[in-house]
Structure formats: C-alpha cells, structure tokens
C-alpha cells in the first residue's frame, strides 16, 4: 500500500557547537551504544527503513469515526515520512544549546514501560525549611527508575541522540537541580522567569545506586524565598519522555526560605 521504504532526507553539515556550560564536572565516560539492541541494516545512511515508519502520523486524529474524539481537541499535523524533513530550511539544533531557539530533527527514542516511569522526591530541603544565609547546604533527592550518571557533552551533543533505556528498561539520564527566588512569600503568585536562577547544577554521578542523589550548594544562598526543583533528563539532556499521559510527575519542587 505504501511505497515509502526509502525517503531521502538532507543531512545538515552545519558544524560547530555553541559552547555553553551546562554541567559542572562533565562525565564524558558515557558508554555510548552499550544498551542498544541490534538494529537492522539500513539501505543507505540517510533513508527511513519501512519498519520505522509511523502510520499514525498520516492522520490528524480527528477523522470521523476515530476513537477518543471530543470537543476541544486540535488536529495533529500530518506527515507520511515520520517528519524526517521537518527541520529542513530551519536553524537546526545540531547539538547546540541555541538561546535563539532551533529545530531538532532527532527522534524521541525509546520510551520506558509504565512500570519503569521516573519519579523524584526532594528530601532536603523540606517544605518551609528556613536555612542559614550564605551557608553551604546539600540538596538531596530520591529517584525511582532513573539510571543516573549518564550525560553527554552539553556543548556538542545537546538533544543530539534519542532517549534510550538500560538493560532493565530504565531511562539512561541524569537530574538537574535548579533554585529560583520566588518573591516575598512562600505563597508566591507569579511564575518566576526561567532565565533567572540562583543555583543550577547537573548531577553527573550515578549516586548511591539506590536512586539517592545530591547537589551541594556551595556557599549557600542570600536571604530570600526560594523554590528548588528537579529537572530530570535523558542522556542527551532532553526532558524524560514517559509512556502514558496520566501519571504522577517525574520531577519535584520544594519551597523554602533562607533567613535568620
């Protein structure tokens, strides 16, 4: 029915990455390919193989008779080739963190089973804790089903490969810890500007192997009201992608104060 076995797409030869420090103490010893299952050979390096074609993308999802239709849904864009040329003519992400925005054509990749979804809890600080100003403290986290300690070079391979799983079906990735001031009160009412943060750290290490991770806030924080959040990521720094929409959150936030 569908003669779409080989669809060529143009390779970007755009090159050099924008150097932006994302992580302190980058661990480049990531074992690339170790967890990959064998792949079929491809006709050429730049063609879509027939069994990788997703036919659901041929349709908007709102065709008459489609299950799940209800008022308020929008039509999905359609494409008969996995959107492989979606970014053609646009500024490609191409491994860079481009603050101007960009278009990323890399597939989302392998998605865990519902039994392996990521979950995180911040265990320190606790809600409403009051910490001493300018005093080193350690944010501690507990995670489930994240194979931590896997992160690629954020200056050269940002979003440059799909999400992947380990031999147990857990996402290979890492956690970021980010802290922002949220105003005068724990009961803040304004969404903070994501471009402004008081602390940021990628947790590079695998932790204790039981899901416990930590990030030291060296020198502490000035007096203020803050929100600490986790941002769980797959290996190439993309937010973790989950198998079902209805679930608990993969990340956690806690609001706390620094003051005397």
Which residues of this protein are in contact with ligand NAG, per CB under 6 A? 18, 64, 98, 100
* 41/64 with CB nearer ligand NAG: 64
Q: Which is nearer to ligand NAG, 7 or 103 (CB)?
A: 103
Q: How far apart are CA 68 and CA 62, in angstroms?
A: 9
Q: Which is closer to ligand NAG, CB of 100 or CB of 190? A: 100
Render the burial of 99-115: b for 16+ CB within 10 Å, e for the rest.
eeebebbbeebbbbeee
CB of 57 to ligand NAG, least distance (A): 19
CA distance linking residue 199 with residue 222, whole number of Å: 11
Q: Between 4 and 18, name the residue whose CB sits nearer to ligand NAG.
A: 18
Among residues 90 and 113, whose Cβ is nearest to ligand NAG? 90
Q: How far is the CB of 65 from ligand NAG (least distance, A)?
A: 8
Q: Kindly state the smallest distance separating residue 15's Cβ from ligand NAG, in Å.
A: 12
Query: Taking the complex as a whole, how short is the minimal distance between the CB of residue 100 and ligand NAG, in angstroms?
Result: 4
| Owner of token pair 């997703």 | 54
Q: Is 2 helix (H, G, I), strand (E, B) or coil?
A: coil
Beta bridge partners of 225: 183, 257
Cβ 109 vs Cβ 241: under 8 Å: yes
Asked if 158 contacts 93 with a C-beta cutoff of 8 angstroms, the reply is yes
Exposed e or buried b per residue across 119-143, where buried means at least 16 C-beta atoms within 10 angstroms of its C-beta: bbebeebeeeeebeeeeebebbbeb
Cβ partners under 8 Å of residue 103, min gap 6: 86, 87, 90, 91, 92, 93
Nearer to ligand NAG, 71 or 209 (CB): 71
Taking the complex as a whole, the smallest distance from the CB of residue 48 to ligand NAG amounts, in Å, to 28
Shortest distance (Å) from residue 59 CB to ligand NAG: 12
């Amino acid at each position: 029915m569908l003669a779409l076995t080989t669809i060529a797409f143009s390779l970007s030869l755009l090159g050099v990455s924008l150097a932006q420090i994302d992580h302190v103490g980058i661990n480049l010893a990531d074992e690339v390919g170790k967890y990959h299952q064998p792949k079929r050979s491809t006709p050429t390096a730049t063609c879509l193989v027939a069994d990788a074609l997703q036919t659901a993308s041929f349709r908007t999802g709102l065709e008459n008779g489609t299950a799940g239709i209800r008022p308020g849904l929008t039509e999905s864009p359609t494409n008969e080739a996995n959107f492989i040329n979606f970014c053609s003519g646009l500024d490609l992400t191409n491994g860079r963190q481009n603050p101007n925005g960009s278009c990323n054509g890399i597939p989302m990749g392998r998605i865990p089973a519902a039994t392996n979804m990521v979950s995180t809890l911040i265990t320190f600080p606790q809600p409403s804790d009051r910490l001493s100003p300018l005093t080193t403290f350690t944010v501690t986290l507990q995670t489930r089903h994240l194979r931590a300690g896997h992160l690629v070079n954020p200056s050269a391979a940002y979003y440059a490969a799909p999400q992947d799983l380990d031999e147990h079906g857990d996402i290979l990735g890492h956690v970021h810890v980010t802290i922002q001031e949220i105003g005068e009160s724990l009961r803040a009412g304004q969404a903070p500007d994501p471009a402004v943060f008081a602390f940021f750290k990628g947790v590079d290490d695998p932790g204790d192997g039981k899901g416990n991770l930590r990030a030291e806030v060296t020198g502490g924080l000035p007096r203020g009201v803050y929100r600490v959040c986790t941002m769980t990521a797959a290996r190439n720094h993309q937010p973790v992608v989950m198998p079902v929409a209805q679930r608990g959150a993969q990340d956690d936030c806690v609001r706390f104060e620094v003051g005397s």
